[in-house]
Amino acid sequence: MVAVYKSLLDKAERRPFKVTVIVALFILLPPCFLRITHMPDEGRYAEVSRETLVTQNGLVPHINGVPHLTKPPLYYNLGAAFLFLFGIHIFSIRLLSLCAFLIGLFWCVRWAMKRGGGKASLLGGMIGATIFQSAAQAQFADLNMLFSFWLMGGLLLFFDALERPENKASWCGAWIFFALAFLTKGPPALMIPLITIILFRLVSGRKFALPLSRWILGIALFCLIAFPWYIWIFLHERERLTHFWFDNIFRKTVLGEEKGSHYPGYYIPVFLIGGAGWSFLSLSELISNFKSRRKDLKSAHPSGGSPQKDHGKRIVDSIRRMPHDQLWLLCWILATIIPFSLILAGMISYILPCYPAFALYLALYFARKGEGFEQKKIRRTFLFSIVFFILVVWSWSLYGYVSVHSRSPRLLSLFPKRLEPSWINRRIRSFGKESYLLIQFDYFTPIFNFENQRNSVLVWESVNSQWPPPPNLRYAIEELQHHVRNNRPIALIVQPHNYQFISGEGWENLHVYFRGEHFILLVTDSLGAH
């Protein structure tokens, strides 16, 4: 088995694109199909995309009939297009992330081939496809994968333009990709490239041989593509923007005023863990190089003098002697990790844009080590990364699938908050009713909307505390009771601590179909539940 595995890797250098796509699809397609919808992020991204499709409003994203302006609309518009083409299913919206990931991998393979030949291209594809966090996000409905793709394209094209100033197409392409990233996630699309450029200029000491007219052209292209929507939305939704972008986004991500906030520097261990085997191989190589250089430095000072000044100078010189493509990638990694490590947010996918640079850096580094470098380490790390991904992601996907498709809810008890919504949604769909009221009581969860393909009527709850749902999507408890007495088809989702408010006299037509730790599903007789 080991011999066959080694033989396949040896032959794969001639077909890096084919090997990359086979590895990526092998590890990603099963969880893309099987894994249940993740709460709350996947449900929210998928539901906003569904409502974009239903309302055909590509300018103002909505969730349950209320404007949702935490992000620009590009991701939701593309998500709506995928739902239109492939059907309203969670796989359709995941396919957007998967496509961005695969196209990004092909780009990495091609870029590495131009820079380091066949070995670098194969390594770029293998490493990029098996970095744990990147691969995990590729089978996840999340705009950070699309954002990472736009940013990767922009930064690779920008470096190509620096290397060949006469290449106007790469320069214009870079600014177009930055603009698309800005329409996907906003300010980070400028922050990461700007810090990368400044770091590279300071560390390399290299001057950019580009005329002022070229910079004006690039910035003009960016403004032409990125700013019209921001100007329009500011003119039409100024009050909501203030709430979402300052009260919501700024306080949540920068000031850490949310439940999932973490400590400064949080993203450094996230990066190391997210890289899994490749991170630890990099650390091992870094420690080995440090020891080797320290030994060389000691041998250069046999008298026992203080080598600190020479040591610092050698470090600076070694960085400046680094190939400029590797130095650019290193600045890109730092420009992603350092700023996010200074804020208090806890979303692990924020540093996703650094992983393409990490894969390419390792590919070029190992390819340039020469034939004498120990290839066993790379093979073992590659095999470990695949096995680790399968054990973690496939196992969870299979467990969730079996639990949700089981008629008995007993398997839900291990991860009730993650599994109960999908189990409830499957049961509601099994009733076979097209016309019924989906009602959420005192707690709104977008996953129920998406999987049942309709907006929820809310009781004692709103999507956003500043703006209530439209009148047709909110009930007082007396209205709900009126519909229950008339035995209207209703699927009502409530948390256990609120069940007391919808039981007893006047609620006789409402029956508990499922009682879980976090959610209770109640249905009326007319819904057809048995």
Q: For the segment 3-36, what is each residue's pLDDT rounded down to a tens digit?
A: 555 555 566 667 888 888 889 999 999 999 999 9
Alpha-carbon 207 to chain mean position: 34
C-alpha 330/C-alpha 359 separation (Å) is: 11
> Which stretch of 36-50, 285-299, 365-379 has the lowest confidence by average pLDDT?
285-299
Mean pLDDT of the chain: 87
Both tokens of 279, joined, read 């991170």
Tokens describing residue 296: 């060389």
Return the number of other C-beta atoms located less than 10 Å from residue 355's C-beta. Answer: 26
Phi and psi, residue 493, nearest 5°: -115, 125
Residues 6+ apart with CB under 8 A from 45: 75, 76, 79, 93, 141, 142, 143
Q: What pLDDT score was predicted for residue 27?
A: 94
Q: Taking a C-beta distance cutoff of 8 angstroms, is the pair 97, 184 a contact?
A: no
Give me the amino acid identity at 265: G
What letter represents residue 419's amino acid? L
Return the percentage of the chain with pLDDT > 70, whole number. 86
Residues contacting residue 504 through CB under 8 Å, at least 6 positions apart: none
Closest listed residue to residue 79, CA positions, set 102, 65, 99: 99
Nearest to 155 by CA among 141, 171, 139: 171
Query: How far is C-alpha 134 from the geometric centre of its chain's CA atoms?
Result: 8
Task: Quote the DSSP letter at residue 525.
Answer: G
Q: Is the pLDDT of residue 530 over 60?
A: no
Residue entry with tokens 């420009």: 335
Say how far apart CA 286 and CA 299 lie, in whole Å: 20
Residue 93 φ/ψ region, left for φ over 0, alpha for ψ in the -120 to 50 degree band, beta for the rest: alpha
Residue 193's contacts (CB-CB under 8 Å, 6 or more residues apart) are 151, 154, 155, 158, 178, 335
* Number of C-beta neighbours around residue 241 at 10 A: 15
Q: Does position 484 have pLDDT exceeding 50, yes or no?
A: yes
Cα–Cα distance between 449 and 47 in angstroms, integer? 7
Give the confidence band of 331 by pLDDT, cuts at 50, 70, 90: very high
Question: pTM score > 0.75 for this model?
Answer: yes
- If DSSP states are collapsed to H, E and C, what string results for 404-428? HHCCCHHHHHHCHHHHHHHHHHHHH
**What SS3 state is found at 82?**
helix
Distance (Å, whole) CA 197 – CA 115: 20
Summarize pLDDT for 248-262 with one digit per residue, the tens: 666 666 655 555 556
Lowest mean per-residue pLDDT among 133-137, 295-299, 508-512: 295-299
Phi and psi torsions of 490, nearest 5°: -140, 135
pLDDT (0 to 100) of residue 413 = 81
Is residue 470 predicted with pLDDT exceeding 90? no
Q: Which residues pair with 511 in a beta bridge?
A: 523
Pairing state of beta strands 62-63 and 66-67? antiparallel
Q: What is the pLDDT of residue 340?
A: 86
Which segment, 255-259, 260-264, 308-312, 517-521, is predicted with the most confidence on average? 517-521
CA distances from 317 to 322, 335, 362 (A): 9, 21, 20
- Strand pairing class (474-475; 457-459): parallel
What's the one-letter identity of residue 412? L
Q: Which residue has the higher pLDDT, 433 or 331?
A: 331
Least confident of 113-127, 174-188, 280-294: 280-294
Give the whole-angstrom CA distance, residue 68 versus residue 463.
9
Sequence letter at residue 51:
E
Q: How far apart are CA 386 and CA 129, in angstroms?
A: 9
pLDDT in tens, 138-147: 999 999 999 9
Residue 239 CB neighbour total at 10 angstroms: 9
Assign 1 a pLDDT band (cuts: 50, 70, 90). very low
State phi, psi for 512 to the nearest 5 degrees. Answer: -75, 120
Note the pLDDT of residue 227.
95
